Structure 1
Amino acid sequence: MQKISRSSPGVLIARATCAVLLATALGACTTAPAPDSPGAGASLNEAQAGGPSRWELVRWQQADGSLRSIPHGDNGQPIIFEFNSGIDSAQGTVSGYSGCNRFTGGYGKTSTGMRFDPLAATRMACIPPRAELENALLTAMQSPFTTVGTQPSAGSMGRQIIWKTANGDLLQFIEREGVGQRGDKMEAQAAGGVEKTVYVDSQRVECTGVVRQSCYRVRENPNASWTLWYGPIEGLDFEPGTAYTLRVRETRVDNPPADASAIRWQLLKVESRTRAN
């Protein structure tokens, strides 16, 4: 495979690593793997489910074998998926940059790969090549992805994964510690956040933002009235009928999606759980 420079669409991919990974994936191009096959249930062997992980889309092979160009944003931003609980976690919140806009939503592991819950996204306009790729990506995410190849980290390369979309395209991602200025900014923002204790009611309630949705009822003082929390609580595996006392990190979100909160809560610790009577 020809090496690609960092300034051209895509990123530099080591030949040997890519060859092994693509061989696994291309063998599954015509038929999706069975749930109990190595491709479907492939482990990344370096699971990091206890913390967030960030993944960059580096290669898009269409069902006919042709490669799709992956343009970067105005400031060089790559396409990034950020899994708040790690890619190997059973479920959590995913957010990132889809080529033109920021998005956020839920994700969960399936027997064959990964599913994404309905996403909220910003609505910025951009030039046609980026808009077309973003539309194709967000459309693909409406159906589950099938895992057809994985590779643990080797040398300077991060862990890798190839997902197959419902229409047969292959999307190759590499794990990144922090990509460009935006990744550095996010880490600095998280480090500068405020830690606080919040109380979460045992049931979510129907609420209306931009659309009708379910909200948490929360308060920061056990004697205060409940208020509605419209966003996710990243890292919380909420169980209806259980009230929680949580330690969270609160940070502000720059340019949040139209139907998302400008405040971000990341779970640090579940201090207590109480089953409702």
Structure 2
Amino acid sequence: MKRILMLALPLALMAACSNPSQTTTKSEATPAANTATPAAAASIDATQLGANHWLLDTAVDSAGKRVDALFVRADKPVTLDFKDGRLSVSNACNGMGGGYTLEGDALSVGNMMSTNMACGEPGVMALDGLVSERLQGKLTIRSLDASQLVLAAANGDVLTFRAEPTAEARYGGEGERVFLEVDAQTKPCTHGVMRDAQCLQVREVKYNEQGLEQGKRGEWENFYGNIEGYTHQPGVRNVLRLKRFQVKNPPADASSLAYVLDMVVSSEQVGK
């Protein structure tokens, strides 16, 4: 049995306004005052920032040239999440995060901490530094709405992110935290319209506030449905931290519960 990853369970359990411009008469206006500038929000709503995951869509330098090095993972764009005064970055090599503050259209990000994992994919290892040097310090929010966030970095790069609503926004609440162990292999199952399907085998795991497991794990059960954000890898058994949401008015053949991956607590390779 080969251990792949183990994170500390206690960690798993814990986890404005800009100045108004002066009024001038037509004769007082100067060419500089008439120069078009990017639209910036006078007051940035932190709630709006936190309602979405922000996926990097475009990035150009001060000369308008695309920053190709930020897109080495085409299927997994660099993603920002804002919550409780912290900015988290995913889909680089390591997970990164740091505190942030808002003042007018200025977003100030403190020193970013990260996990310490090596990545073998070409270009991915360098992503941590490339992202960190653009996000740390003071940035300008060029625009923010329900679909897009545009940030101007101190080095002149302009980063545009597209919005993807968080599970909390989609389901209308914080959800319930649960832990499920997912077995290494799926099994054939039939449920409703699902014929000759393969179901994940799961069982609940319970921990106390100190991260110590409580009670005995039960029997494996069929899991009918999907876990958002989780891709099952045959031969790998995982313990997952999930958020479970009530689905309002689900279709007749669908579950009233939705499960969203929060983090992988542990993984291990299991022999066949």
TM-score clears 0.5: no
TM-score scaled by length of structure 1: 0.43
The higher-RCO structure (CA 8 Å, 6+ apart) is 2
More strand per residue: 1 or 2?
A: 2
Larger Rg: 2
